[in-house]
Amino acid sequence: QSVLTQPPSVSAAPGQKVTISCSGSSSNIGNNYVSWYQQLPGTAPKLLIYDNNKRPSGIPDRFSGSKSGTSATLGITGLQTGDEADYYCGTWDSSLSAGSWVFGGGTKLTVL
């Protein structure tokens, strides 16, 4: 079981909007920045969102991130078939003295 909880799957039609949630606790999301990663089939993960809501250069503004308390959300608007992928949230967890990085269990996005 992952420290961060994500829904296993979400789906929506092309052109629509979808949100993916990531639930944690005060030792991780509640007190640290969240990042989001997109993993297309057979490829390495790619950074989509960092520091809760910032987009790296080249990431379209269809992708957005937000955080409230101990949860974070990834939003994708104007869905395209090319957005079909697995999405992961990640953050630092400070529950142990040395800390550790944690990922969510991943969410598979299907664009119907």
Partner 1 sequence: QITLKESGPTLVKPTQTLTLTCTFSGFSLSTSGVGVGWIRQPPGKALEWLALIYWNDDKRYSPSLKSRLTITKDTSKNQVVLTMTNMDPVDTATYYCAHRPPLGMSFDYWGQGTLVTVSS
CB of 63 to partner 1, least distance (A): 14
Alpha-carbon torsion angle 49, 35, 54, 40, nearest 10 = -10
Which residue number, 15 or 33, has a Cβ lying nearer to partner 1?
A: 33
86/53 Cα distance (integer angstroms): 19
Which residue number, 14 or 50, has a Cβ lying nearer to partner 1?
A: 50
54/38 Cα distance (integer angstroms): 15
Kindly write out the interface string for residues 25-64 of this chain, putting x where it contacts partner 1 by CB under 8 A and - elsewhere.
-------xx-x-x-x----xxxx--xx--x-x--------
Residue 66 binds to partner 1 (criterion: CB under 8 A): no
Burial class (CB in 10 A: 0-12, 13-18, 19+), 94: middle
Which residue ranges make up the site for partner 1 (CB under 8 A)?
Answer: 2, 32-33, 35, 37, 39, 44-47, 50-51, 54, 56, 88, 90-92, 96, 98-106
